[in-house]
């Protein structure tokens, strides 16, 4: 059996406020062909047949909801479907005889088909829910954190929008307790220029900062050789920096720098401005001759204020840091010390040319944006607003060459389903 053509020329989706999404299609047509063969002791014949269906009609309301694990789910309500006309024609040596029986066959075909349509569509919606329940709403981001994208409530339907409220919280790998602060509510602006608007709150980035800090991600120790490697594009500059640092403490032994955040970095989102203030400490260590242990030479606290650049690369939100200000903390008497001032300049250079490039390399991995499989974000734009960033984007569905059209769509979900029954992800 082969479907030669399938057309739904008049199809629409409309929001029903407080209820769901009404789907409507009419004037649909399809053409189906098949080969047949009859074998009997005294009779043999073969040929083909064509079934043309027209006046295909369907309407129903899809109710978006969620399951107990925070996965999206759908229910079908008020289903009505029918095919108005069917035409059967046979081909083969005795086709003229068979075609005399074709017209009487059409009414039983329509009756059976119209009885089956809504149960078939309902089964397809349930099959889609099985796939939706297999989606991983808890995603490992790196070796330190997980990101929870589960729904915090049922989707909301208005006259113009479908609103999905996602949790958007980072957790350390070994601790799924919520951060010790709460999200501030925010409203997306009323706009109609793009298909989808994604609001990412300050809380999202604050939880990322807190989770990485709690997991010990904000700590790095650099040897002289490693610092030199990171300054490879400015080798003359690093030589000067290291010689000044050695000269400052009158040392000939190898130096190491240990830089660690003392508190979770502070995130601030203001119109057109995304900043990250990093309170940290730096320890200069050295290893003396004939010793296997490292010893601290000096320890100082500092605050680095950085600007955060945003971009969408692939289907991920990518951040990059640039140093705005750097200051050593301490008493005013200490700040007037020449040695402290020289160290401040040296450390600022190391942060600017060494540490931040390392951090930006890791940040290039980005954060995955929620989207169905095979759906790409196109023509995306990012704005920083008060308390959240706004991503305006359109969507494009791209079917792989090996994937056949299916009501299920969402190609990766079909693949998950074929792998066998799975327990819903937490």
Three-state secondary structure string covering 363-408: HCCCEECCCCCCEEEEEEEEEEECCEEEEEEEEEECCCCCCCCCCC
pTM of the model: 0.75
Tell me: do 86 and 187 sit in the same domain: no
**pLDDT at residue number 413:** 32
Per residue in 174-222, pLDDT tens?
889 999 999 999 999 988 899 999 999 999 999 999 999 999 999 888 7
**pLDDT at residue number 417:** 32
% of the chain surpassing 90 pLDDT: 44
Q: Which of 70, 105, 133 is the last residue of a domain?
A: 133
Q: Check residues 145 and 399 and name the one with the higher pLDDT.
A: 145
Per residue in 107-125, pLDDT tens?
999 999 999 999 999 999 9
Domain with residue 82: its CATH number is 3.15.10.10
pLDDT at position 249 over 90? no
Residue 412 belongs to some domain of the structure = no
pLDDT at position 424 over 80? no
**pLDDT at residue number 362:** 86
Q: Check residues 342 and 334 and name the one with the higher pLDDT.
A: 342
Which stretches within 139-217 are classed as H helix? 202-214
Tell me: do 147 and 123 sit in the same domain: no
**pLDDT at residue number 133:** 83
357-364: long-range contacts at Cβ-Cβ below 8 A with a sequence spacing of 24 or more? 357/230, 358/220, 358/230, 359/321, 360/320, 360/321, 362/142, 363/318, 363/319, 363/320, 363/321, 364/313, 364/318, 364/320
Q: Which of 99, 133, 167 is the last residue of a domain?
A: 133
Number of folded domains in the chain? 2
pLDDT at position 228 over 80? no
What residue numbers bound the domain in which 144 lies? Answer: 138-368
Tell me: do 212 and 356 sit in the same domain: yes
Q: Work out the pLDDT band at 333, boundaries 50, 70, 90.
A: very low
Tell me: do 235 and 122 sit in the same domain: no
As a whole number of angstroms, the distance between CA 147 and CA 210 comes to 12
**pLDDT at residue number 26:** 92
pLDDT at position 400 over 80? no
As a whole number of angstroms, the distance between CA 219 and CA 224 comes to 17
Q: Work out the pLDDT band at 77, boundaries 50, 70, 90.
A: very high
**pLDDT at residue number 95:** 84
Q: Which of 368, 390, 405 is the last residue of a domain?
A: 368
């Amino acid at each position: 059996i082969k479907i030669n053509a399938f057309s739904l020329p008049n199809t629409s989706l409309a929001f029903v406020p407080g209820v769901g999404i009404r789907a409507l299609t009419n004037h649909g047509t399809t053409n189906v062909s098949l080969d047949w063969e009859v074998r009997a002791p005294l009779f043999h014949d073969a040929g083909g047949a064509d079934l043309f269906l027209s006046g295909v009609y369907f309407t129903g309301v899809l109710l978006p909801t969620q399951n107990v694990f925070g996965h999206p789910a759908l229910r079908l309500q008020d289903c009505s479907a029918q095919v108005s006309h069917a035409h059967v024609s046979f081909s083969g040596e005795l086709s003229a005889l068979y075609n005399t029986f074709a017209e009487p066959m059409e009414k039983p075909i329509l009756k059976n088909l119209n009885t089956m349509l809504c149960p078939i569509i309902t089964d397809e919606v349930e099959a889609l829910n099985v796939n939706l329940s297999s989606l991983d709403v808890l995603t490992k981001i790196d070796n330190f954190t997980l990101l929870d994208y589960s729904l915090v409530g049922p989707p909301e339907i208005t006259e113009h929008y479908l609103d999905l409220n996602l949790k958007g919280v980072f957790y350390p790998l070994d601790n799924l307790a919520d951060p010790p602060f709460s999200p501030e509510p925010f409203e997306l602006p009323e706009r109609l220029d793009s298909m989808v608007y994604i609001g990412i709150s300050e809380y999202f980035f604050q939880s990322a900062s807190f989770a990485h800090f709690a997991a010990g991600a904000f700590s790095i120790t650099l040897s002289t050789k490693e610092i030199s490697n990171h300054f490879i594009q400015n080798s003359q500059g690093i030589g000067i920096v290291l010689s000044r640092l050695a000269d400052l403490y009158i040392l000939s032994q190898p130096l190491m720098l240990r830089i660690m955040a003392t508190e979770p970095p502070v995130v601030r989102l203001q119109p057109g401005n995304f900043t990250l203030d990093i309170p940290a400490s730096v320890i200069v260590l050295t290893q003396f001759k004939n010793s296997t242990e490292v010893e601290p030479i000096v320890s100082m606290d500092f605050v680095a204020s950085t600007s955060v650049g945003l971009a969408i690369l692939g289907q991920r939100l990518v951040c990059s840091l640039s140093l705005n200000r750097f200051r050593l903390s301490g008493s005013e008497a200490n700040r007037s010390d020449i040695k402290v001032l020289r160290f401040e300049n040296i450390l600022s250079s190391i942060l600017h040319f060494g540490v931040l490039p390392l951090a930006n390399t890791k940040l290039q991995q980005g954060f995955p944006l929620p989207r169905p499989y095979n759906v790409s974000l196109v023509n995306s734009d990012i704005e920083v607003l008060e308390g959240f960033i706004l991503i305006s984007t359109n969507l494009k569905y791209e079917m792989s060459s090996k994937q056949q059209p299916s009501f299920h769509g969402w190609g990766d979900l079909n693949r998950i389903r074929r792998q066998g029954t799975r327990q819903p992800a937490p």
